[in-house]
Chain A
Amino acid sequence: MSDNRTIDAVLERHGRDGTHLVQILREIQEQLNWLSPATLTRIADGVGWPRAQVSGTAAFYSFFHTRQRGKYCVLWSDNITDRMLGNTDLMDAMCKKLWLEPGRVSEDGLVSVNTTSCTGMCDQGPALLVNYRAVTGMTLQRVDEMAELIRRETPVAEWPADWFAVQDNVRRAEILLAGNFAPGSALRAAHQRAEVDGLSASNNRSFRESLPQGIAGPMAMLDEIQRSRLRGRGGAGFSTRFKWEACRNAPLRADQERIVVCNADEGEPGTFKDRVLLTSYADLVFEGMTVAAYAVGATRGFLYLRGEYRYLLEPLQAVLERRRAAGLLGKRILDIPGARFDIEIHLGAGAYVCGEESALIESLEGKPGRPRVRPPFPVTNGYLDQPTIVNNVETFASAALVALHGGDWFAAIGTKQSTGTKILSVSGDVARPGLYEYAYGVTVRQVLADCGATDTLAVQISGPSGMCLADDEFDRKIAFEDVPTAGAFMVFNTSRDMFEVARNFSHFFAHESCGFCTPCRVGTTLVRNIMDKIANRHGSPYDINELFKLHRLMQGASHCGLGNTACNPVFDTLNKFRPAYEHRLLSLDYEPAFDLDAALSEARQMTGRDDAGAHFAAHSPDEAKA
């Protein structure tokens, strides 16, 4: 098929609808390998959007290539946990084997090797993506074999299947990971409850909009959610009932509908529980979304799946198909006339900020994932300006269980302010990495014991934007009232250097800042540069003060949570692991970041020289002699 026919076929499939732009770009790139200027023009003309908007959107997402890319594109996951498993050496070895510099396409256009933000395989790293397919458990031997397959131009589809195997690693199950959920049971329970007491409950609320035709009892469902005291699992712990009710009560204009969005962007480094929920518990998640739709009166749903989990697209679509066939999705759910709800899957394309709910909605609308100015909030003005709830994958899974067993059952688990269970994604220096589900209120120490962590120095909870706990805080509890978490639990033993941990995270934020607001766009890079300066032993106490100053600016002035929390890891480690910084500082008051010798590196590269005469020898008398 010619390029134009490929492009037109994708455009047709999406009804030439610009709001599908991110999906259109991805599908076309999957077939044409990259998005050339001519391709972007044809897409812009096809959807009738300004060309600058189409090229600007393509440029926003890390996974879109607006320059020719190699036939093979290898991206090493670069979370600190991958680092701890030796990804740097493996990537170097791969580059050597392929005669490559990281980040550059080989001269024959065959391959490029680079890093990418955490791919959500921290319990089975070092991980990478090859042509956006996830590979786990990299070893030196696999590097050799992979390089050979690339050199022989063997299609990725013919590579050994076990390289692409992704394990669930469920180590501890309570209610969610127990895996005994019967599809449809929660919806049936919700519906039956309505006939018992739900109709009267809803009739008492005459100020509320009338119930969607044919579905009785959404109010009863909301009442159960209220009784369950369920709070969002995406990090902020916002009351699910408040969010759902605000959406339900938001007025609809003509031609509008309510929207349910499941946030499966899971971009926070060290988090991988949503991947497992969607791999082996997808019915629970989709049923939770359907329960939510029932409660708020929504007719359209989206699963926003991060691009790193592209391999889950077809299996998830099969689950949706099966649920449609079973009458659990579609136009007549549970055979109730008018009970209408369906779910579409949208894939992200490598942008952590798209996990922020308003940025996620922008992305669903085919735009760059830029957080919106709020208010208005998504519950009133969300997807295409319609009332929208955005919830985390685990929140929906929990909601399904609330529908099935009732709010009181759920509220009896956990603590008073944090009901139910929390799934932790445990990785790092532990004997048994994987998923651990606990009732809220478990201590950090208990988790460490269960996963076989010894000599633990620190735990990074809830990812880089969360908090770093030192050993005197291990008796603290996982709960909204003490240590809230979106799920990441990265463990570092006493052999680890917490400065390097924070430096890795500072690179993450600089790479992921969307660039909309000045404090975050420039601040994240300034912080990264200072951390690199300290790592290169050019730092001084002055730089530490600069870090504090930037932290204070960014956390107050940034537009969204990314900038507000970007300095947390630096700040926490500065307070709790100060010596890790101090032993790197020069004792001077001020030291320029400029390094005369480093400045010559480009000249050395061009002349192919690396002998002593090509270096400034001021620091080392030995080198001068040589």
Chain B
Amino acid sequence: MKTSDNEVSAQANAREARVKADRPAEAKTSDNEVSAQANAREARVKADRPAEAKETPTFLLDGEEISFTPGQTIIQAATAHGVYIPHLCWHPEFKAHGSCKMCTVKVNGRFGSSCTMAAQAGMTVENRTTELDDKRRTLLQMYFVEGNHFCPSCEKSGNCSLQATAYELKMVSPHFDMFYPDRAVDASHPDILLDFNRCIMCSLCVTASREVDGKNVFSMGGRGLLGRRIHISSESGKLADTDFAATDRAASICPVGVILPKRKGFAIPIGERKYDKLPINRQVTEVTP
């Protein structure tokens, strides 16, 4: 079988990955060292020269030089430059969650999540390569089969990050067998509908409710494919029994069609919605939604 050589080395990589993932101190020192060096260099530069001439650190992203402020993640630096790195669970207003893995890039030849990895001077980052986009397409297909997504009847269609990203990555079919999971719809709240059939487990609602609204209405609980889901902070498990309000930040944060306002169906017609106008890779600096 012709794949076997590749596979063998791929396997070696996987082992190495596990070993590396388990190597705190080493990785730590080197990361620190590099960024400490970068910091030191920057400090020196700042001290030595007049402010106009200050040298900002840069890295290469698909061959393009991207400057960054130390402390920024790769995706933050790219976004600031208007460069699109596909992502679903990252939102510029919040600390990265790191779960969707759509933002996976190759840094100096190794895979990493660009939403959690700090940018470092001199690194070489691959982003929109065939290899990475193929992986991203597979991840998208995973989302489409693990939930129940029927875009034509979904209020979010046209404003949906998942759908827009699928267009961007030219995903034409779900590829895998559908799981058709049994997921709940919660229509208990007077102003908000929750349709968990479309949840992509990004946890943005959890973070927004906790950090912006100060309410902790949601929590991501359970385990695994069937178990993991949003839990709601009431004994009944119903949204109506919480202090959730339509004006909460969490009410507008969902990148897909789970958290929807009631009585506002198709106020903006299909065809005139956010991603109908411009593809997602050209709205990089727009905050979603």
Considering the chains assembled together, what is the distance between the CA atoms of A564 and B3 in angstroms?
19
Q: Is the CB of A236 within 8 A of B18?
A: yes
Task: Pick the residue among B17, B176, B218 that contacts A52 (CB under 8 A).
Answer: B218
Q: Is the CB of A243 within 8 A of B177?
A: no
Q: Is the CB of A60 within 8 A of B227?
A: yes
Q: Is the CB of A50 within 8 A of B219?
A: yes
Q: Is the CB of B31 within 8 A of A375?
A: yes
Considering the chains assembled together, what is the distance between the CA atoms of A266 and B215 in angstroms?
37
Q: Is the CB of B18 within 8 A of A50?
A: no
Q: Is the CB of A62 within 8 A of B223?
A: yes
B contact residues around A517 at 8 Å (CB): 98-101
1/0 per position for A362-379, CB-CB distance to B under 8 A? 000000100001111111
Q: Is the CB of B225 within 8 A of A375?
A: no
| Chain B minimum-CB-distance residue to A389 | B24
What's the tally of chain A residues with a CB closer than 8 Å to chain B? 81
Q: Is the CB of A373 within 8 A of B116?
A: yes
Q: Is the CB of A549 within 8 A of B225?
A: no
1/0 per position for B19-63, CB-CB distance to A under 8 A? 101111111110100000000000000000000000000000000
B contact residues around A376 at 8 Å (CB): 28
Task: Pick the residue among A59, A242, A519, A553 that contacts B25 (CB under 8 A).
Answer: A242
Within 8 A of A (CB), among B220-239: 220-225, 227-228, 230-237
Q: Is the CB of A56 within 8 A of B98?
A: no
Q: Is the CB of B221 within 8 A of A53?
A: yes
Q: Does A327 contact B (CB under 8 A)?
A: no
Q: Is the CB of A519 within 8 A of B142?
A: yes
| Chain A minimum-CB-distance residue to B176 | A526
One of A74-82, A161-169, A221-229, A506-514 at the interface: A506-514
| Chain B minimum-CB-distance residue to A38 | B235
Q: Is the CB of B146 within 8 A of A560?
A: no
1/0 per position for A54-90, CB-CB distance to B under 8 A? 0111111110000000000000000000000000000
B contact residues around A593 at 8 Å (CB): 177
Considering the chains assembled together, what is the distance between the CA atoms of A571 and B139 in angstroms?
20
Within 8 A of B (CB), among A502-557: 510-519, 521-526, 529, 548-553, 555-557
Q: Is the CB of A551 within 8 A of B22?
A: no
Considering the chains assembled together, what is the distance between the CA atoms of A516 and B28 in angstroms?
23
Q: Does A214 contact B (CB under 8 A)?
A: no
B contact residues around A571 at 8 Å (CB): 7, 11
A/B interface sample: 30 pairs, CB < 8 A: A51-B235, A58-B221, A59-B222, A60-B223, A60-B227, A232-B22, A236-B22, A237-B19, A238-B23, A238-B25, A239-B26, A242-B25, A373-B96, A373-B116, A375-B28, A377-B25, A513-B223, A513-B224, A521-B225, A522-B142, A525-B224, A526-B176, A548-B3, A551-B7, A553-B139, A561-B21, A565-B15, A565-B18, A571-B11, A594-B177
For the complex of A and B, 9 pairs with smallest distance between CB atoms: A56-B221, A236-B22, A377-B24, A515-B228, A52-B219, A50-B216, A555-B14, A522-B142, A246-B25
Q: Which B residues contact A (CB, under 8 angstroms)?
A: 1, 3-4, 7-8, 10-11, 13-15, 17-19, 21-29, 31, 96, 98-102, 104, 111, 113, 116, 135, 138-139, 142-143, 145-146, 176-177, 179, 201, 216-225, 227-228, 230-237
